[in-house]
Amino acid sequence: MALEWRYALDGVDWDELSDLYRVAPLGNKKASDLKVVFTASMFKCFIYDSDKLIGTGRALADGLDCSYICDIAVHPSHQGSGVGKEIVSTLVNLSKNHKKIILYAVPGKEPFYRKLGFKRMTTAMALFANPTQALESGLICET
């Protein structure tokens, strides 16, 4: 069966989405929180295989200047099959009229995104709600 791509929030099972992030593994994200962030995102996609959610991603975008791609998740059963690459390519295409497309990667996944044309930014800065955890997980550095 072919994968089914959906681009709207209609029918999203937020608990199923939360489970996907947990097993991907991208951490524990509450269903209610995911509903908030996906609703606020200009672009989103959900990929289903036989009605089972196996991939997702979203982009916060302002419609002109900046699109920020994040929360790319692929179920372990489909990792390595090209689904992640298709999700990123789809979100890049949806964001193509923006002056810049920024992507936030999990530490260690940078080579995957480099293959898709993304370059490391030298000026990116961040404030985290839990800076100790961000430092320990490799998201930020002291220098």
* pLDDT, tens only, 95-122: 999 999 999 888 888 999 999 999 988 8
Residue-range domains of the chain with CATH: 4-104 (3.40.630.30)
Predicted local distance difference test score (pLDDT) of residue 1: 60
Please determine, for residue 20, whether its predicted confidence score (pLDDT) is greater than 70.
Answer: yes
Predicted local distance difference test score (pLDDT) of residue 80: 93
Share of the chain above pLDDT 70, in %: 99
Contacts for 100-109 with beta carbons within 8 Å, 24 or more apart?
100/65, 100/66, 100/67, 101/59, 101/66, 101/67, 101/68, 101/69, 102/66, 102/67, 102/68, 102/69, 103/68, 103/69, 103/70, 104/68, 104/69, 104/70, 106/26, 107/137, 107/138, 107/139, 108/138
Predicted local distance difference test score (pLDDT) of residue 139: 84
Please determine, for residue 16, whether its predicted confidence score (pLDDT) is greater than 90.
Answer: yes
Distance of CA 24 to the CA centre of its chain: 11
Q: Band of the pLDDT at 84, cuts 50, 70, 90?
A: very high
